[in-house]
């Protein structure tokens, strides 16, 4: 597994170099070379992640411009010593959240995602942590993601049917259900509880 992770990290770096080269190079021969570097990076990723090469190319080689990490926000909402989780269509549970959309900030995206997935109107209070996803969650992705965990308060709005989640529920730390670990782990849930109880909590960041 450790050897595979090294290969994946090399593939990610090659992909970033190739993407930058394709963005800024003007020489047609250099462009061909960078395209081949990108193809090699996808082949390495496919070989070491057991993903179909076409899937890898779709996820890994479909962006243009300077490569930067994506942003993912997750809301930590705790009431009566229990944390809010939403049940996804695959039966697993996660903190409300998702990709930061165009024209949204961290704060407005949290409010939007909580409303869409749980029905609650959220009030963001403070940032718990900013984490490099590939250092904390599996499987390792072929691109960088910054996960931002935000402690929030909520009102008493009812749950609304939506295409992403099936239900919402509060869980104590001792009854956490099966998590969508690519989005949040038990350790990250525990971190959110710690931030809630510690009034002097300092934002963690990688």
CA distance 157 to 34: 52
Tens digits of residue pLDDT in 31-81: 999 999 999 998 998 888 777 888 778 767 777 787 788 999 999 999 999
* Predicted pLDDT of residue 67: 76
What the chain holds in terms of domains, given with CATH numbers, is 2-60 (no CATH), 70-205 (3.90.79.10)
- Within 10 angstroms of residue 9's Cβ, the number of other Cβ atoms is 13
**Whole-number mean pLDDT of the chain?**
92
Q: What is the pTM of this model?
A: 0.80
pLDDT of amino acid 2: 64
């Amino acid at each position: 597994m450790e050897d595979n992770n090294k290969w994946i990290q090399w593939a990610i770096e090659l992909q970033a170099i190739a993407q930058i080269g394709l963005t800024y190079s003007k020489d047609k021969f250099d462009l061909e070379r960078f395209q081949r570097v990108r193809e090699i990076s996808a082949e390495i990723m496919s070989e070491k992640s057991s993903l179909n090469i076409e899937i890898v190319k779709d996820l890994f080689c479909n962006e243009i411009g300077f490569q930067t990490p994506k942003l993912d926000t997750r809301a930590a909402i705790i009431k009566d010593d229990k944390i809010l989780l939403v049940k996804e269509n695959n039966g697993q549970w996660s903190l409300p959240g998702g990709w930061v959309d165009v024209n949204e900030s961290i704060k407005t995206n949290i409010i939007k995602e909580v409303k869409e997935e749980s029905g609650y109107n959220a009030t963001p209070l403070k940032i718990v942590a900013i984490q490099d996803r590939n250092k904390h969650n599996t499987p390792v992705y072929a691109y960088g993601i910054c996960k931002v965990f935000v402690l929030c308060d909520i009102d008493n709005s009812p749950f609304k049917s939506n295409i992403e989640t099936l239900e919402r529920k509060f869980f104590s730390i001792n009854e956490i259900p099966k998590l969508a670990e690519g989005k949040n782990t038990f350790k990250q849930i525990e971190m959110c509880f710690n931030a809630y109880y510690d009034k002097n909590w300092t934002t963690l960041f990688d």
